[in-house]
Amino acid sequence: MRIIVTGGAGFIGSHIADAYVAAGHEVLVLDSLWEHGGGRRSNVPERAGFVHMDVRDEQVERIVREFKPEVVSHHAAQHSVAIGSRDPKYDADVNVRGLLNVLDACVRGGVKKVIFASSGATFGTPDHLPIDERTPQRPESPYGITKMVAEHYLRFYRSEHGLDFTALRYGNVYGPRQDPSGEAGVVSIFIGRFIKHEGVRIDWDGEQTRDYVYVKDVAEANLAALERGSAGCYCIGTGVRTSVNAIYHALVEICGFEAPITAGPKRAGDARDAQFNPELAARELDWTPQTNLLDGMRRTYAYFAEQNPATAKSS
């Protein structure tokens, strides 16, 4: 199959591109290498093509017409809740206008299906846990709003133009290649600090929980969505919720180093708990997460240690 992965130079998108290439598909990555994102040219698999382009660029249609993909995996995004909250217009420009530019190109280029990186952020603070596909979506950030709006546009393009879709609502994805700086996931931020033998900041009381899902399991969900999940939106999580304090203690075990802790305040808009029920994904996508958090953290640590041998050696 021929597949374009937008955002395929980024953290999650590059693992998806890897999985598609490994499965024998022909992959083209389209990515702007946005300065505040996790995109790196070196993340793109050798056997995939690469186009350095913004998803809002009108040339996207030409790329789609020339490559003639059957599927477009849309992972390019303004991915940061904090940036989206500071600059909702930019968030909407990339996450809505960029999406529409890609969808129009798909319709004109004869693409059959779009796989979309949606988010648990579309749910806001749910009344009950675990979150599942019947949980009302009440996003509390511009980022969550644009991800939810995107799902509505996908439904519209399917009914209006016959462009099929699967939307995958990820929990907190972690793993190799996640940017350890900035506001990326706590697992990679902590690992980055532990490896340098630096202290970590734990906000609130550290008992806030998230559903952490390993990036290679997310890539598997994207493989499953090539053939399954027509017109569906799925929660892609593990069903397990883990506190920030538990992540810290697991890393002390893994690294043999007790990083000093600085206490930080609760961050505005931070939800207390998140946990996803992945049963619908199991039934309809035939997908279940395979990696438990400790194993995934060990693999992530090994990756970052390899990237930083000088600092990691002493641990």
Choose the stretch contacting ligand NAD; rule: CB under 6 A; options: 69-77, 192-200, 259-267, 292-300: 69-77
Pairing of strands 209-210, 242-243: antiparallel
Which among 20, 90, 143, 170 is annotated as catalytic?
Answer: 143
**Residue 12 makes contact with ligand NAD by CB under 6 A:** yes
Choose the stretch contacting ligand NAD; rule: CB under 6 A; options: 71-79, 202-210, 222-230, 301-309: 71-79
Binding-site member from 5, 21, 51, 77 for ligand NAD (CB under 6 A): 77
Q: How many residues bind ligand NAD, per CB under 6 A? A: 29
**Residue 34 makes contact with ligand NAD by CB under 6 A:** yes
Asked whether 2 and 24 are in contact (CB, 8 A), the reply is no
Q: Least separation, in Å, of the C-beta of 195 and ligand NAD? A: 19
Binding-site member from 38, 175, 176, 278 for ligand NAD (CB under 6 A): 38
Catalytic residue flag (residue 170) = no
Give the contact letters, 99-118, x = binds to ligand NAD (CB under 6 A), - = no.
------------------x-
Q: Least separation, in Å, of the C-beta of 143 and ligand NAD? A: 7
135-194: which residues touch ligand NAD (CB under 6 A)?
A: 170, 172-173, 185
Q: Which of 50, 307, 44, 31 is nearest to 188 (CA)?
A: 307
Distance from C-alpha of 175 to C-alpha of 179, rounded to nearest angstrom: 10
Binding-site member from 5, 20, 64, 79 for ligand NAD (CB under 6 A): 79
Distance from C-alpha of 72 to C-alpha of 68, rounded to nearest angstrom: 10
Residue 303: alpha-carbon gap to chain centroid? 18
Binding-site member from 16, 18, 51, 75 for ligand NAD (CB under 6 A): 75
State the Cα torsion 150-130-173-75 to the nearest 10°: -10
Distance from C-alpha of 60 to C-alpha of 74, rounded to nearest angstrom: 12
Asked whether 291 and 232 are in contact (CB, 8 A), the reply is no
Q: Which residues bind to ligand NAD, rule: CB under 6 A?
A: 7, 9-13, 31-34, 37-39, 54-56, 75-79, 94, 98, 117, 119, 170, 172-173, 185
Catalytic residues: 143
